[in-house]
Chain A
Amino acid sequence: MNQEAKPIIRIESILKNYGAIEALKSISFNIYQGEFLTLLGPSGCGKTTLLRVIAGFEIPNSGLVEIDGNNMEGIPANQRPTNMVFQSYAVFPHMTVGENVAYGLKARKADKQTISEEVNKALAMVGMQGFNDRPSTALSGGQRQRVALARALILKPKVLLLDEPLSALDKRLREQMQSELRQLQRSVGITFILVTHDQEEALTMSDRIAVMFDGKIAQLASPQELYRRPTNIQVANFVGTMNFLDLDLVALEGNDLIVEIEGLGKTTLSMDQAPLGYQSNSMAGIRPEMFTIITNKSQSKTKVVKGRIVETQYFGDMTYFDAKLEGTDKVVTISMRNSDISFEINIGNNVEIGWNPNSILVLS
C-alpha cells in the first residue's frame, strides 16, 4: 500500500469519556484511500466507539476527525460521507428489500428512474438481483447482511464502516462473506473500516490492522508484520498463539543480546529481535510453528531441546502438541503439519524439539 498517498481519514488525539470511564485515550492515526483497515481488539477496548466517532454517532471530548480533508467537527452523521453496516444490520422491517436499498437515495431526493436503476445495480453487486419486492422480514442473516451492504454502498460513500458485520453468521457463511467482502472492497475501491474481535477475520481481510487495548492503539501494522513482529505481549497474545518463556539477560555485546531462556538455555539474539528493546520484564516469545518435533534425523534446526508430550490436539491438516520442556515445568505449544510427521507421536512420548534463535522475539 502506498503510504505516500493522501489520507482519506485523519484522526488526531481523539479523547472520549463516558463519565469517569475513558473509552478512547488520545488516538491518532491515518487511513488511506482504498485501504481495508481493521480495528481489532477485545470487547470494551473502544474499537466500536472509535468507529462511531468516525460515523458521527458519538461526539469526542476532544481531538480531530478529518474525512477527505474536511474537519468533521459539528457535522452530524447524516451529512458525513461515510456509511455504516450495523452489527444487527438494522434492515428496516417495514420496508421491502428494494425500499431498504433505496432509502438513502430517497433521502437525497433522487428521481425515480435513477433510484430504480441504482437499486438494481446495488442488489446485483451483492448477488441479490430480483429480491426488490421481498419483505425484509423474510430474509436470512446472510441476506440481511447483503441488503445492509447494498444499502450503504449505493450511496458511494468515501468510507464504509462495518461494525462486527459477520459476528452473527455461522462459521461457513462467515468465511464465505469474508472473501466476498474483500472482493467487493477491491472492485468498488472504497475505503473500508471493519471492527472485529476475531483475529482470524482481521488477518484474512485487512490491508492493515489496528490492534486496540484499553482505549489505545497498541500496534498498527499489516497482518504479516503484526503476526511476525508483534511489538508487545498483549498484541502477540491476541493475534495468533505465542509461547512465552522467562528471559534473563546475561550480557549485552554490541548489537547482540546474550540471554538465558527458560527451558531453552543460553543463546545469542540480535537487538532486531526486540522491537521495543530489552526491559527487565521482557519475555521470550516463540510461535508454535517455529518449534519442530524432530521425527527424522536429517531435519536440522540449529538448536534442540528435549521434552515430553503432555497433550495433543488434532485438526486434520495440523496437530497441536503441548510438550513439557526437560528440566522445567514449562509447557510449550508446538504446531506441526501432519504431512511433516513421519511417525506417531503420543502423550507421554519423549521427543526432541528443534528451534531456531532467529524465531525468538523479545517482548514486554
Chain B
Amino acid sequence: MNFSFIQKIRGQSGLILVSPPFFYALLLLAFPLMGVFALSFWTQDYLELNRDFTLDNYREAWTGAIYQALMLRSLKISILVTLLTVVLAFPVAYYISFHVSPKKKPLWIFLITIPFWTSYLIRIFLWKVILGFNGVINGSLIGIGFIDEPLKFLLFNQGAIVVTLSHAWIPFAILPIYVALEKIDRSLLEASEDLGDGPVRRFMRVTLPLAMPGIIAATLIVFIPTIGDYVTPKLVGGPNGLLIANMIEVQFKKANNAPLGAALALSAMFIVSAIAMVFLWFNRKYLRQEQ
C-alpha cells in the first residue's frame, strides 16, 4: 500500500472539512474587511465617495487629539478589564480543577455558563439596576442608614465599564485557565513538593508556568474583543466613558464620514494586533512547552 497516497487523501479530507467555515469566513469576514480597507483610503465628498487614494484619514486618526485620547482610554479600559477578569477567573478555575471532586466538575462548569442564558444587553441593564442612582447598592446602603443620599460615582463612569465588562467576560476566561490546570499532571506537583518546595514556591515554579497557556488564551480572548465594545460604554459609561468604538460608530453614522471611521477601525485593529503579538512574544517560552 502506498503510504503517501493515504496521507494525501487524509490531507484532502482535512481540506474538505475546513472548507465550509473557510468560505463562510471569507465571505463574511475577509471581503468586508477588504472593503473597509479600501474605504479607509477614500474620502467622503458629501453624498458621494471620492475614490482618489489618500492617507488623510490615517493622518487624522493618528494625530487628532480626540482620537488619540479615545484610543488611549480604550486601551486603558481594555487592559484593566483583562487584568481584573483574569485575576478573578484564576482562583475560580483553580478551585474547580483542584478542589471540586471529579464527579461534580461538570456541574460547576455548567453553573459558570448560566450567565449566558440571558442576553448580553439584559446583563448590562442589570448592572445599571445594581449600580444606579436608585439602584440596589444605593438603596441598600440608604436602607441600613450607612449613607444619606445616593452615591453618584457608581454608574456612568469608566469604573462601571470595567465592572460590567469583567463580569461579562469572566466565563470566557475561566474555561481556558481551567483546561490548562486540568492538563497538569498531578504527579508534577508531588514531585515539586518531594524536591523540597512548599505550597507557595510549588505554585510559582510549577502550577503557574504550566497554567500559562490557559492564562495567555484567557488574556487574548478578553482583551481583543473588549477594545471593540461600544454597547457597554454607551449604556453605563456616561459622558467620560466613550471609547474608540463609539467614535467609529459616530463616524459611520451621524458624522457620515465612513472613510475616517474605516481608518479608525483599522488603526484600532492594528494596535490591538501589535499588542497581542508583543504579548505572545513575551510569553513564547510557555507556548513552546506544548509540543
Q: Give the docked Cα–Cα distance between A92 and B196 (Å).
A: 15
Which A residues lie within 8 Å of B26 (CB)? Answer: none
A90 x B187 contact (CB < 8 A):
yes
A278 beta carbon closer than 8 Å to chain B:
no
List, in ascending order, chain A residues with CB within 8 A of B197's CB.
78, 107
Answer yes or no: B198 CB below 8 A from chain A CBs: yes
Residue in A77, A92, A135 whose CB lies within 8 Å of B194: A77
Cβ–Cβ < 8 Å partners of B195 in chain A:
78, 83, 103-104, 107, 151-152, 155
Asked if B190 lies at the interface with its beta carbon under 8 angstroms from chain A, I say yes
Does the CB pair A92–B191 fall under 8 Å? yes
Set B190, B196, B286: member contacting A90, Cβ < 8 A: B190
- Among A90, A94, A135, A155, point to the contact of B209 (Cβ < 8 A): A94
B267 lies within 8 A of chain A by Cβ: no
Are the C-beta atoms of A108 and B194 separated by less than 8 Å? no
A55: B residues at CB distance < 8 A: 194
B198 to chain A minimum Cβ distance, whole angstroms, is: 6
A86 near B187 with CB under 8 A, answer yes
Let me know if B246 is at the binding interface, CB within 8 A.
no
- A17-29 vs B: 1/0 string, CB under 8 Å? 0000000000000
* 8 Å CB interface, B172-210 against A: 185, 187-188, 190-198, 201, 205-206, 209-210
Q: Does A88 contact B (CB under 8 A)?
A: yes
Query: Does A137 interact with chain B (Cβ within 8 Å)?
Result: yes
Query: A108 contacts B185, CB within 8 Å?
Result: no
With A90-B185, A90-B188, A94-B289 as contacts: A107 and B201 at CB distance below 8 Å:
yes
B119 at the interface (CB under 8 A from A): no
> Which residues on the A side are within 8 Å of B190 (C-beta)?
57, 77, 84, 86, 90
Q: Are B192 and A103 in contact (CB under 8 A)?
A: yes
Q: A78-B198, A93-B210, A107-B197 are in contact. Are A86 and B191 (CB under 8 A)?
A: yes
The smallest C-beta distance from B209 to any residue of chain A, in angstroms, reads 5
User: Which of B187, B193, B195, B201 has most chain A Cβ within 10 Å?
Assistant: B195
Chain B residues whose CB sits within 8 angstroms of the CB of A79 once the complex forms: 196
Minimum distance in angstroms from A161 CB to a CB of chain B: 9
B291 at the interface (CB under 8 A from A): yes
**Which residues of chain B are near A151, meaning CB under 8 Å?**
191, 195
Interface residues of A in 79-126 (CB under 8 A from B): 79, 82-84, 86-88, 90, 92-94, 103-104, 107-108
CA distance A71 to B201 in the complex (A): 25
A107 to B205, CA, bound (A): 10
CA distance A76 to B198 in the complex (A): 9
Interface size bracket, B side: 20 to 34
Contacts of B291 in A (CB 8 A): 137
Residue of B nearest to A79 (CB): B196
Contacts of B192 in A (CB 8 A): 92, 103
A78 surroundings in chain B (CB, below 8 A): 193-198
Tally of contact residues, A, Cβ under 8 A: 25
Cβ–Cβ < 8 Å partners of A108 in chain B? 196
**CA separation between A135 and B290, bound complex, in Å?**
12
B286 touches A94 (CB 8 A): yes
Within the assembled complex, what's the spacing in Å between the Cα atoms of A87 and B190? 12
Query: Which residues on B sit within 8 Å (CB–CB) of A57?
Result: 190, 193-194
> Would you call B206 and A92 a contact (CB within 8 A)?
yes
Q: Residue on A with the closest CB to B189?
A: A90
Contact (Cβ within 8 A) B210 A88 = no
A135 vs B286: C-alpha distance in the bound complex, in angstroms? 12
B84 CB to closest chain A CB (Å) equals 27
CB closest residue in chain B, given A161? B194
Shortest A90–chain B CB gap in Å is 4
Report B205-233 residues with CB < 8 Å from chain A CB.
205-206, 209-210
Taking CB atoms, residues of chain B closer than 8 Å to A83 are 194-195
| Residue numbers in A under 8 Å from B286 (CB-CB) | 94
Residue of A nearest to B196 (CB): A107
Report chain A residues within 8 Å CB of B185.
Answer: 88, 90
**Closest CB in chain A relative to B125 CB, distance in Å:** 44
Nearest residue, chain A, Cβ from B198: A78
**In the complex, which residues of chain A have a beta carbon less than 8 angstroms from the beta carbon of B196?**
78-79, 104, 107-108, 155
- Contact check, A77 vs B193: say whether CB atoms are below 8 A apart: yes
Would you give the shortest CB distance from B200 to chain A, in whole angstroms? 11
- The residues of B that contact A76 with a CB separation of less than 8 Å are 193, 198
A137 to B188, CA, bound (A): 14
Q: Complex Cα distance A76/B185, Å?
A: 20
> Is B193 a contact of A90 with CB atoms below 8 Å?
no
Q: Which of B66-122 contact A (CB under 8 A)?
A: none
Q: Which residues of B contact A82 (CB under 8 A)?
A: 194
Contact B194 A94 (CB under 8 A): no
**A204, chain B: closest CB distance, angstroms:** 26
Q: How far is the CA of A155 from the CA of B194 in the complex (A)?
A: 11
Closest to B206 in A: A92
Q: Which residues of A contact B201 (CB under 8 A)?
A: 107
A–B Cβ pairs within 8 angstroms, 8 of them: A78-B195, A78-B197, A82-B194, A90-B190, A93-B210, A104-B195, A104-B196, A151-B191
A55-B194, A90-B188, A92-B191 known; 13 new pairs, CB 8 Å cut-off, are: A76-B198, A78-B194, A78-B197, A88-B185, A88-B187, A93-B188, A93-B289, A94-B289, A103-B192, A135-B289, A137-B289, A151-B191, A152-B195
